[in-house]
Structure formats: C-alpha cells, structure tokens
Structure 1
Amino acid sequence: MASNRKSADTGETNDLAETIGLYALGKISLGKAAERADVSRWEMQETLREAGVELRLGPQSEAELEDDVVVALQV
C-alpha cells in the first residue's frame, strides 16, 4: 500500500512541476496555476518564489485577464 501512496505523491509532484513550468514559460496565469495546483493565489505565489520563478503579477494578455475573472468568480 505504501508504494501506491508514493506513486500518488510522485504524480502530484509531477503535476505541480508541470504547473510551475507552464507559469514560468508564460503559458498560464498565476490564477490558472493556483487553480491547477488546487491552492490559493497566495500559496501559489509562495510556491513559485520557493521554486525561484519570477512572478508576473497582473494579467499579461486579454486571455489571462479572462482566466483570472473566471477563477475569481469561482471563489
């Protein structure tokens, strides 16, 4: 049973790494990254800082603005 937990943890780590990578490449907004990681925007900011990723605060495009609005409306 422990091996299943480790496998699940590895999957979560890979998902978070992918989310961090997408954010770092400018493919997703902070709001979308937080949504994908199932954490608050503030927790995602801290995670990105810990990973050494420079924060891009505020929407960088109209599509990011729309994503941020959708996430905000879900809160």
Structure 2
Amino acid sequence: MASERKNARGGDSSDLAETIGLYALGEISLGKAAERTGVTRWEMRDILREAGVELRLGPQSEEELESEVDVALDLE
C-alpha cells in the first residue's frame, strides 16, 4: 500500500524504498523522508508504519539535539 501512495503521486517505488531504508537506518529524519517523497509528515508516518518501520521521534543523539536547538534559535 505504501508504494501505491507513492506511485499515485508520480514517483516510483524504488525511490520510496530507498527513502524508507534511509529513514530506518537513521540517515534521514521523518521530515526529510516526507520531503523526498512529496508527502506530508503525517502521510510519511503512516507509510513508515505500514512498512513496519519503527518511528524515531525527537533527537536521537546529543548532536541532533544541539542541531535542533540551533535551528530553533535561528527562527527567532
């Protein structure tokens, strides 16, 4: 079903599979995965769940936390 969603948006299932793999390996965030596939974060969350991938919410390391803080401070 996940590939059906992606194909409905004009992409191909190999791109979706690559994106799911990158997310599962921790190489990209949920937001980046959504951006790569052209769906919302909520749709990407559902796609990942359907694919059996455990969601990683929030920073996974001190570096990621520092990066998020830097981004948040730049928004002000």
TM-score interval, normalised by the smaller of the two chains: 0.5 to 0.7
Comparing both structures, which one devotes a greater share of its residues to helix?
1
Number of aligned residue pairs: give it: 59
Q: Over aligned residues, Cα RMSD in angstroms?
A: 2.2
What's the counterpart of residue 35 of structure 2? 35
**Counterpart residue identity of residue 27, structure 1:** E
CA distance in 1, matches of 2:16, 2:27: 14
- Which runs of no fewer than 5 residues in structure 1 stay unpaired? 1-8
Higher relative contact order (CA 8 A, sep 6+): 1
Contact 1:29 1:59 in 2 (8 A): no
Q: TM-score, normalised by structure 1?
A: 0.66
- Which runs of no fewer than 5 residues in structure 2 stay unpaired? 1-6
Q: Deviations over 1:2-61 (max 9, x none)?
A: xxxxxxx5x610000000000000000001000001100000000000000000011324
**Counterpart residue identity of residue 42, structure 1:** W
What's the counterpart of residue 6 of structure 1? none
CA distance in 2, matches of 1:57, 1:51: 17
